[in-house]
Each structure stands twice: as C-alpha cells, then as structure tokens.
Amino acid sequence: MSSQISGTTFTIDGRAYTTAELIDQVRGRGAPIGPKLLLNALEAAELLGVSDQTIRELWAAGHLRFVRIGRGRKVTRAELERFITEHEEVSA
C-alpha cells in the first residue's frame, strides 16, 4: 500500500482522494464500516487507506489521540478528521 499527499489531494494506492472525500469516509458516508463512534486500528486504517500498523505508529508517536478501553485502543471519527485537517498540505 502506498500513499502520497499532493496539494489538497491524497493519492492512496493509485486513487486520488480530496480532503472532503476522506472526511466523508471518516464520517461514515459511503464507508462500509458505518457510523461507529470508536474505531479500532484496522477500521481506522481502512477508512484512511493506510495499514493498521501505520495507525499504531501514529498512536505511539503521539500524532493521533486514542481512547483506551481495557487493553485496547480506539480512535474517534472526530480525531481522524482533526488529523486529516491538520496534516493537509497545499502545493506551492
């Protein structure tokens, strides 16, 4: 799986997504996961088009906040939206 950010378009495995499309997926519009409030690493990874290991690395580095439930970690859809918005880049 490969990803690249260019301007306001994210290219994931050869398909270009706008920021709005990614946020719509995170909000559960058009996403097969549905409107869950908390997502595990695999679900969050599917929505963002990255690996679950990438989500875990973002958690470990402190770039993506999580909710601890028992021994597991979950991420909110709002946190995924925040992450996308804060890491959006514009090409010069």
Say which amino acid occupies 47: L
Three-class secondary structure of residue 44 per DSSP:
helix
pLDDT tens-digit map of 34-67: 567 899 999 999 999 999 999 999 999 999 999 9
H helix intervals, 1-92: 19-26, 41-48, 52-61, 77-86
Please state the pTM of the whole predicted model.
0.62
Domain ranges in the chain are: 3-86
